[in-house]
A and B are shown apart, each in its own frame.
Chain A
């Protein structure tokens, strides 16, 4: 990536995001990438006057990530999408579709987790 990617942890994420908002950054989107059987990367992309900024949060699949939708409401859609596709849960979602944003019952597993299937059942949540 051309721009620097700043690593964050679930604990520091909240502060960082709030700071971005204070500095007038526009939320672009988040990208989720499966790293291995247990962990995923969540990238947060921001933009200010066409300059991009990225954060990287690496977390285990079966751990809920903190939602940033209370700060950036616009994030609710992509967080729900990640819930659908990766089976990851977000805590404190502004509108929680509970893994029904795109998917019907027929699609049982989290489709974007190709490396393991085993963890999926557990991470599917309630």
Chain B
């Protein structure tokens, strides 16, 4: 029987990013989905050859425009570990603050896009409206809405003054209030549940076997989060992973939604415990040796493999981003679903192609 074959992307209105899927359908049921990548591949890991290891911070930050600061943080932590640099405590807390603010921003962004994927336009608008407050915090603290560029090797380059932290807290209160108003919609609305519950189920075993990370993994009932390792200042903060057990799009949605509250709480706690002191130390020498550095991005575990050889250019920089790890699980979810659910399920892993392909 003839089948419908659709190119889903690279340019497609539901995915801002050039994700390309070849979809084979029968009566709108997906029979086969094969991804084609490479539309965003730049080859930026190779830039380590011509940029020194300080300049690479800016490149790493631009692996992705949504969790920019966390990339820089991961990279800096890796180099610091290689070179044996001890970062001042205040810097560690500041890193957490910016990272968690980014997480709030990223999750709100995702909640909106997710809503748009199932055609809930006003919800999309609402999420993004709330998100603008967080973007303002970014711009006010880092000087740019997206690439806050605060991380440097040895610490951070900007500090938060007390009146700034006070303002951040008051803004976050407003954000939290508004997010709370969406709880009834995103977690309990009939139409939302109808479109998400039971869609794209990934069982716990599958999730582990296929190497899922982040909310995709936690949505399948595995309480695993790199923040449990206590890097930066997480060891001093109260943190337990948010978990949902059903493994469907709804569970992943639930995890992210609740993590938004959690991230706000973490920022509050970090600000309240913010120690005084220096924000960076001077760096001497060149990195040598190899290291794996991991942090938790909004989308999950981010891993940098860094190999230095005592020169100012790194020998090898390899970035394994969360979406890269979540694509095999995604492929296992697609067959058998409806065409209309393709955007919902693809978005449910919060895909970021730009960092997947680098």
Interface residues of A (CB under 8 A from B): 1-3, 21, 24, 26-29, 31-34, 43, 45, 49-50, 52, 54, 72-74, 76-78, 95, 100-104, 111-112, 114
Contact = CB atoms under 8 A, between A and B. Distances in A.
Contact of B229 (A45, A50, A101, A111): A50
A54 B357 CA distance: 23
Contacts of B234: none
Interface string B31-54: 000100110010101100100000
B226 interface: yes
B211 A28 contact: yes
A109 B325 CA distance: 27
Contacts of A103: 38, 41
A101 B291 CA distance: 27
Given A33-B316, A112-B46, A49 B224 contact: yes
A58 to B, nearest CB: 14
Given A45-B292, A101-B38, A73 B328 contact: yes
Nearest to B332: A73
Given A102-B37, A102-B43, 15 more contacts: A1-B290, A24-B208, A45-B303, A73-B210, A73-B328, A74-B209, A74-B210, A74-B325, A74-B328, A101-B38, A102-B38, A102-B41, A104-B38, A111-B43, A111-B46
Q: Determine chain B's interface SS by DSSP, over half rule.
A: mixed
B226 A29 contact: no
Contacts of A104: 38
A77 B303 contact: no
Nearest to B226: A50
B347 to A, nearest CB: 19
B46 A74 contact: no
30 contacts: A1-B289, A1-B290, A1-B291, A2-B291, A21-B209, A26-B209, A26-B211, A27-B211, A29-B318, A29-B320, A29-B324, A29-B325, A33-B307, A43-B305, A45-B292, A45-B303, A45-B305, A52-B294, A72-B209, A72-B211, A73-B328, A74-B211, A77-B324, A78-B320, A95-B34, A102-B41, A103-B41, A104-B38, A111-B46, A114-B49
A103 B224 CA distance: 34
Interface of B: 34, 37-38, 41, 43, 45-46, 49, 208-211, 224, 226, 228-229, 289-292, 294, 301, 303, 305, 307, 315-316, 318, 320, 324-325, 327-329, 357
Contacts of B328: 73-74, 76-77
B316 A31 contact: yes
B213 to A, nearest CB: 8
Contacts of B324: 29, 77-78
Given A1-B292, A50-B229, A77-B327, A31 B208 contact: no
A34 B208 CA distance: 30
Contacts of B211: 26-28, 72, 74
B9 to A, nearest CB: 16
Nearest to B40: A102
Nearest to B208: A26
B78 to A, nearest CB: 11
A73 to B, nearest CB: 6
A126 B23 CA distance: 28
6 tightest A-B CB contacts, nearest first = A74-B211, A102-B41, A29-B320, A102-B38, A74-B328, A31-B305
A113 B205 CA distance: 37
A59 to B, nearest CB: 16
Contacts of B320: 28-29, 31, 45, 78
Contacts of B290: 1
A20 to B, nearest CB: 12
Contacts of B46: 111-112
B37 A31 contact: no
A24 B289 CA distance: 29
Nearest to A1: B290
Specify which of A28, A43, A103 lies most central, judged by the most chain B CB atoms within 10 Å of its CB. A28
Nearest to B356: A77
A73 B209 CA distance: 8
A26, A34, A78: residue with the most chain B Cβ atoms closer than 10 Å: A26
Contacts of B305: 31, 43, 45
A31 B290 CA distance: 11
Given A26-B208, A74-B211, A114-B49, A52 B316 contact: no
Interface centre among B41, B49, B315, B327 (most CB of A within 10 A): B41
